[in-house]
Structure 1
Amino acid sequence: MAKMIEVDNLTKSYGSKRGITDVSFQVEEGEIFGFLGPNGAGKSTTIRLLMALLRADAGTARIAGLDSWQQSVEVKRLVGYLPGELSLDPKMTGGQILEYFGHLRGGVDQAYLKRLIERLDLDPSRKSRQYSSGNKRKVGIIQAFMHRPRLLILDEPTSGLDPLLQQEFDHMLEEVRNDGGTVFLSSHILTEVEQTCNRVAIIREGQLVRVGLIEDLKDIKRHDITIIFADAVSSDLFKDLDGVERVEALADGRSLHLSVQGPADAVIKAAAKHSVVSLISREPSLEDIFMHYYESAGQTAREASHVVQ
């Protein structure tokens, strides 16, 4: 399969501030590729380098075989780009902004544009200064999609969208993939990437730590679960269940807090044997997940090294 994006040893330094170092990955044509990492990890820097908005210190980036810097005009014709921070003219309406972007593209299918506006429930008659952050995001998504590009590069696209519109956005991505298009999607939300992507690259502190199939994320998937029972239940009933890493009995004597890696099926079934008042499951932030995962991995490596010595 043809390579839509080819990144090789891409490096960008901001002096004392973190950039990215020796980032390399490839994105196949026709796939949805997730670029996952906590805020400040280097996702936006990598995307800006791909879009030739920054110049790399070292390395190369190619889109559809074109050099991102030397052939940046040709590259931009192929790409629908949504930046992480979208700046809109506050005096223009959403419709005027989309019309402007359409003219830059040499014209777009107006019927398709209208459908996008309806699907994302955007009022194009309002001035952008009246838009919430979510509505500004809608404008950004529509302008990225409206010319049906071969490649979508989307930086945190669902930030500010309500859950129903996030689902609609997921449907739009599926349609792009079904039509043979390619999507490069950055996110700091693990579940968002799981629901839409074929493969994923994980970046942390400016360096890639993993590239692989979405199924490869199962070993870092975690949930924090708090269960309140009608009566006291011993934490010993849960500590040896599949996936349970930690169980803490809370001060009220009827509540347990569990840290669970992977599916929570065993925990739910064990809890159901007792009278449950409430059960709350929360996915930790990606930063929390990474800190736990890589600290654990580092501890294991140190212990192995100590045994070898």
Structure 2
Amino acid sequence: MLVAEHLKKYYGKHRGVEDVSFTIKPGEIYGLIGPNGAGKTTTIRIILGLLYKDSGTVKIGEHDIPKELNHVKNKIGYLPGEVNFYPEMRIKEFLKFNRNFYPQIESDYEKELVEFLNIDVEKKFKELSQGNKKKVGILQALVHKPKFLIMDEPTNGLDPLLQSKLYELLEKEREKGTIILFSSHVLTEVERLCQRVGVIKEGNLIKELAMKDIRKYTRKLVTLYGLKKPEKLSGYELVNHNGREFTFSINRTELRSFLNELVNLEFDDLLIRNPSLEESFMEFYAEGVEK
């Protein structure tokens, strides 16, 4: 298992994290969610031994971190939020260099990942786009078949096709029994991948949710322009009204019935979108520190 208990970290007088605790079991994907500045990256860096905590404990398997990090280091795969390797090094040279740290790397599996992610190994790292740099980071995190996989905002900079490939790889890892932790601020992504999520607010893990619970927070914002007889939709949450423009917050489980209601109403146009980051977390944060 991967266990974090009562993690606390301050940068001088500035808070990193105040109190974060969670446990991840083998074959489980755990999402750490919250807006930027909530403490997700600090938590991940403490778990990896890249930051010293002020208090609390971290265990990866049976090993205390950072004290026994060397015993488990080659079993960890890590993808940072921004991937920056040696700019002048060609990708094929980087892969050869990476094998020095992980003697268990299988050349066939490395080749399989290169082809699956469509990585051009002849290019220098500095020549790659942000998305292609992320591809190399994904490969480096997975190629040694880690038992613990930790990813910080893994889909940042990825196009939808590559996101889908990453989801496929993560699901395969989960099926192998890999323990997976990743941070995100996108609820729809978390809903697709995770078995459980932890919500961080201002350095505190305020809530843990199973997927059946997270679905009630996955909403769409539907704006109707030129809507006549808005009273016919009084059973749904109206979050904004400006003249003949009406915006409703619709739970995913209600979306079909809401759209069926629209068939019998007159309106000029409609827009359906995902809530912004702040809108997504408003409901979580309104509930305080109940866990």
TM range (shorter): over 0.9
Give the alignment partner of residue 238 of structure 1, picking from 230, 233, 238.
Answer: 233
Q: Does 1:184 align with 2:181?
A: yes
Residue 100 of structure 2 aligns to a residue in which SS?
helix
From 130, 154, 164, the counterpart of 1:167: 164
1:283 aligns with 2:274: yes
Residue pairs, 1:114-125, within 5 angstroms: 114-125=111-122
Residue 260 of structure 2: aligned partner? 269
CA drift of 1:18 comes to 2.3
SS in 2 for 1:203: strand
Pairwise CA distance, 1:266:
2.3
Aligned letter for 1:7? A
Find the aligned partners of 2:15 and 2:263 in 1 and give their Cα distance.
47
Relative distance call for 1:102 and 1:272 in structure 2 (3 A) is farther
Deviations 1:172-199 (A, max 9, x none): 1111111222211111111111101111
| Aligned-residue offset at 1:123 | 1.3
Q: How does 1:134-283 map to 2 (within 5 A)?
A: 134-228=131-225, 232-240=227-235, 244-246=236-238, 248-251=240-243, 253=244, 255-263=245-253, 264-274=255-265, 278-283=269-274
The residue number in structure 2 matching 1:305 is none
Q: How far apart, CA to CA, are the structure 2 residues paired with 1:275 and 1:125?
A: 58
Give, in angstroms, the shift of residue 120 of structure 1.
1.4
Structure-2 separation of matches of 1:258 and 1:216: 21
Which shifted more, 69-78 or 44-53?
69-78
The one-letter code sitting in structure 2 at the alignment partner of 1:191 is T
Q: Label 1:292 to 1:197 Cα distance change in 2 as closer, same or farther (>3 A).
A: closer
Q: CA deviation at 1:34?
A: 1.0
In the aligned structure 2, how far is the partner of 1:93 from the partner of 1:275? 59
Is there any run of 5+ residues in structure 1 with no aligned partner, and where?
302-309
Q: Is residue 239–residue 247 contact of structure 1 (8 Å, CA) maintained in 2?
A: no
Unaligned runs of 5+ in 2: none
1:51 to 48, 64, 77: 48
- 1:128-139 alignment, distance < 5 Å: 128-139=125-136
Give the root-mean-square deviation of aligned CA atoms. 1.9
**By how many angstroms is 1:279 displaced?**
3.2
Identity of aligned residues (%): 39
Q: Is the 8 A contact 2:201 2:285 kept in 1?
A: no
